[in-house]
Amino acid sequence: MIKSEARPARKYSRSSGLAMLFSLPGLLLLLSVVLAPLITGFYYSLTNSSLISSEPTKFVGLRNYKSDVFTSTFGDALKVSLQITFFSILTQLLAGYVIAKVLARSMKGTSFFVSVIMLPMLLTPVAIGMMWSLLLNPDIGAIKWLQSFVGLDINFLSSSGTAMSAIIFLEWWGHLPFVVLVLLAGILNLPKEIIESASIDGANWWQLNLRIIIPMLAPVIAVIVIIRSVNAFRMFDTIFVLTSGGPGNATVNLPFLAYKAAFTYFDTSRASAISVAIVAIVMPVYFIFLKMTKV
Amino acid sequence: MLNSNSSKRKVLVTIISVALVSSMAVSARAAQEINVFVTASPSSDALKAMGPGFTAKTGIKVNYVTVPTGDIITKLLLACQTKSSTNDVVQFDSQHVTALASAGCLDEVGLRAVASAEYQDARIPAQLKAYGTYQGKRLGIPLSTEPYILWYRKDIYAKLGLKVPKTWTQYASNAKKCHDAGYYGSAIPYGAAAAAYRIGAMIHNYGGAFFDKNTYEPTFNSAKSTAAIKMAMDLVYTTPASVISGGGLVAVQAMQELDVCQMLNATGWYSTLGDAKQSPKVYDKLALADAPHMNGSKETFLFGWLIGINQYSEQKTNAWKFLEYSLGKTNVEAFLKAGAPPTGRVLFSTSQKAVLAKVAPYTAVMDSANKNAIPLYRVPEITEIMDVVNRGLNAMATKQISFDAGIAKLNADVKAIFVKSGKLKG
């Protein structure tokens, strides 16, 4: 009994060791590519490194964290990042669920609509930003022209509220296809018997969706929320192209703040401190994702 | 065994020989080649046109490395941090002199310019020398000179009977008359990445400044600076909405597409606005004049492309030969005919002046502006200062913050930067 149990374990251990040996070069390469920038970034965050200094780099401890992370500017940017993340994901889930439910019914032309809805996913964020900055141009943009039919004249980039709404809308528009795609896959894989038996038992549309379908989709929704949270939190391109963080600092989020420190002020140590702080904020979400997907 | 050792030795000797010959060939080639780092612009087009003639004359091959304008400074600083000798001649924006100088990226090209009979440094006005200088060292020579001047629509001015404004009060008066007649009165950009440049020039037109050059105390709350900012904010009502959130390019696009009476912008935009293909609606309706001023001050910022030599170049002499050839007295006309905007050097022959008049009919206005031009503040903190001033002015123009609070914020933000760098006490 003992022997029969011990043998497979030893076998497993041997094959596992061999597998590890063969995987080692790839793993080392992966670790160096992933960890080296992180460690370098953390190191720079503790120095006075700057692109515009010819002085040797010195260790300054937590000075950059004190001057650039634990500040109201960082707090404001964090608030912007959280707002973009929260509102874009909430609206993506609501709209995505409705669209996925419609597409889940096998109707004529479904594949065409799926293709159309997926189009924004094919565009790069910079292209999205460029396209929408032209559409939203308050003098000659198509949105202004459309507004004229209903007697509106809103300059979306001139106030903090509307500029933020525009950014959230673009984030929503650009990544909605991903949410629809994942929810559609989830809905199509739900056990039909449970839904049918609930219907037979007299569950109405609301009960069916709120008490049966959505709870069954919870793992799928959780994965969407986690993946999209990390991405929306790191959003940069659209802000860079559409608002440059304006008006004032109204749409400066954390990645944009790090960008400014690195490429406007040329201060690599301050940019590194902000980036390390971003990683520290995003990391727990990522670990939750790993735990949920059991990778 | 012996044969084997012998053949191994032969292989080794062959490899070493090939390596030596290759390295010698590389060295020989390197000595006959220079790399010119440029960004897409009429100036770099002209530099590229000068290459074949230079190679024919000297035998030195010229390679051009063209990068997007926004990437120039980062690429140069990163190359400099690694002491890269890849680039020999480098084009850069005059506002980045301080950053490049602080990082020790540039050779003191001024010494070569002074010693060169071909370059004729004496014909470069003092103000143009100053904008390539940092802490007494001339690190760049002018490739293009682009001061801010007044651009106005001749047709609208004539229709409304407006006179070219000499002061900002007259500019505002013209703006109101244009506005009342259904035109946009002004196109000074207020964007979050642009406002500080033109409104900064206005502050200097009023005799004000961002901060005291000796004490580093911010002076946005001085009477002259406040009056200039107030004037800028008073013009928002008649500015195209896109320009309120945009930069220099957006202002130019507004001039191209909308009926805008006037704007303050750099002479460098002439290649766009004066071109019939790019600006069919307005190219023949625009005129240029001295920037308005106030309080007896005509001071303005001077911008433009500078060109210099990489501190770590191994081809400094050849790099200078190229600059001397392209920007020296012999090829003044050829350089202009190749499409370059004027460098600002004083010309002397009638034929040179004729070519210049054709390429850049605004030269007289530019020369006049150059006389009162100063470089952007030469402090290492300047990029951060411009960013906070851009954003502060943009917040004021978009009514995110009141005028008084905005002035206080500008002062506080700039002071915080100097406190952080140790120039001011907190």
> Where exactly are the structural domains of chain B?
29-145+304-374, 148-301+379-420
Q: Chain B closest CA to A198's CA: distance in Å?
A: 53
Greatest CA separation for chain B: 102
Helices H / strands E in chain A, number of each = 13, 0
Report the pLDDT value the prediction gives residue B414, as an integer from 0 to 100: 97
> Where exactly are the structural domains of chain A?
1-45, 63-293
Q: Chain B closest CA to A91's CA: distance in Å?
A: 27
Report the pLDDT value the prediction gives residue A5, as an integer from 0 to 100: 47
The residue of chain A nearest to residue B77, with distances taken between CA atoms, is A51
Per CB-CB distance under 8 Å, the chain B contacts of A249 are 192, 391, 395
> Any idea which of A186-190, A226-230, A291-295, B120-124 has the lowest mean pLDDT?
A291-295
Query: Collapsing DSSP states into helix, strand and coil, what is residue A277?
Result: helix
pLDDT at A164 over 50: yes
**Position B71, amino acid:** D
pTM value > 0.80: yes
Nearest CB among A138, A249, A263 relative to B241 is that of: A138
Flag whether residue B371 sits within 8 Å of chain A, measured between CB atoms.
no
Report the pLDDT value the prediction gives residue A3, as an integer from 0 to 100: 44
**Position B29, amino acid:** R
Inter-CA distances, B86 with B129, B316, B319, B344, Å: 26, 12, 12, 29
Per CB-CB distance under 8 Å, the chain A contacts of B193 are 244, 246
Report the pLDDT value the prediction gives residue A88, as an integer from 0 to 100: 96
Same fold, B29-145+304-374 and B148-301+379-420: yes
Summarize pLDDT for B201-225 with one digit per residue, the tens: 999 999 999 999 999 999 999 999 9
Summarize pLDDT for B250-259 with one digit per residue, the tens: 999 999 999 9
Report the pLDDT value the prediction gives residue B299, as an integer from 0 to 100: 86
Per CB-CB distance under 8 Å, the chain B contacts of A241 are none
pLDDT at A267 over 50: yes
Report the pLDDT value the prediction gives residue B218, as an integer from 0 to 100: 98
Report the pLDDT value the prediction gives residue A224, as an integer from 0 to 100: 93
Measured N-to-C along each axis, helices B382-397 and B195-205 cross at an angle, to the nearest 10 degrees, of: 90
Best mutation target, A239, A266, A270, to test chain B (most B CBs within 10 A): A266
What is the C-alpha to C-alpha distance for residues A52 and B383, in angstroms, rounded to an integer?
11
Residues 6+ apart with CB under 8 A from B365: B149, B267, B288, B289, B290
The residue of chain B nearest to residue A154, with distances taken between CA atoms, is B241
Which whole number is the average pLDDT over B263-273? Answer: 92
Q: Chain A closest CA to B360's CA: distance in Å?
A: 30
Per CB-CB distance under 8 Å, the chain B contacts of A159 are 398-400
List, in sequence order, every residue forming a beta bridge with B281; answer none if it has no partner.
none
**Domain B148-301+379-420 falls in which CATH fold?**
D-Maltodextrin-Binding Protein; domain 2 (3.40.190)
Summarize pLDDT for A199-216 with one digit per residue, the tens: 899 889 889 999 999 999
Residues 6+ apart with CB under 8 A from A110: A103
Kindly report the number of other CB atoms within 10 A of residue B149's CB atom: 24
Which whole number is the average pLDDT over A33-44? Answer: 92
Flag whether residue B256 sits within 8 Å of chain A, measured between CB atoms.
no
Residue A65: pLDDT band (50, 70, 90) is very high
Residue A2: pLDDT band (50, 70, 90) is very low
Report the pLDDT value the prediction gives residue A287, as an integer from 0 to 100: 83
Report the pLDDT value the prediction gives residue B4, as an integer from 0 to 100: 54
Pairing assessment for the beta strands B373-374 and B141-142 based on DSSP bridges? unpaired
| Cβ within 8 Å, pair A246-B192 | yes
What is the C-alpha to C-alpha distance for residues A80 and A249, in angstroms, rounded to an integer?
10
pLDDT at B34 over 60: yes
Q: Chain B closest CA to A124's CA: distance in Å?
A: 19
Report the pLDDT value the prediction gives residue A1, as an integer from 0 to 100: 41
Which whole number is the average pLDDT over A13-22? Answer: 81
Q: Class assignment of domain A63-293?
A: mainly alpha
pLDDT at B1 over 50: no
Q: Chain A closest CA to B75's CA: distance in Å?
A: 10
Summarize pLDDT for B92-143 with one digit per residue, the tens: 998 899 999 999 999 999 999 999 999 999 999 998 999 899 999 999 999 9
Report the pLDDT value the prediction gives residue B19, as an integer from 0 to 100: 56
Nearest CB among A51, A159, A264 relative to B398 is that of: A159
pLDDT at B150 over 80: yes
Inter-CA distances, A58 with A63, A269, B79, Å: 12, 10, 21
Residue A72: pLDDT band (50, 70, 90) is very high
The ipTM, to two decimals, is 0.84
Residue A116: pLDDT band (50, 70, 90) is confident
Report the pLDDT value the prediction gives residue B92, as an integer from 0 to 100: 95
Q: Chain B closest CA to A243's CA: distance in Å?
A: 8
Summarize pLDDT for B299-338 with one digit per residue, the tens: 888 889 999 999 999 999 999 999 999 999 999 999 988 9
Nearest CB among B102, B383, B399 relative to A264 is that of: B383
Report the pLDDT value the prediction gives residue A11, as an integer from 0 to 100: 55
pLDDT at B355 over 80: yes
| Cβ within 8 Å, pair B245-A243 | yes
The residue of chain B nearest to residue A133, with distances taken between CA atoms, is B242
Residue A273: pLDDT band (50, 70, 90) is very high
| Cβ within 8 Å, pair B102-A53 | yes
Kindly report the number of other CB atoms within 10 A of residue A182's CB atom: 19
Flag whether residue B387 sits within 8 Å of chain A, measured between CB atoms.
yes
Flag whether residue B401 sits within 8 Å of chain A, measured between CB atoms.
yes
Q: Class assignment of domain B29-145+304-374?
A: alpha beta
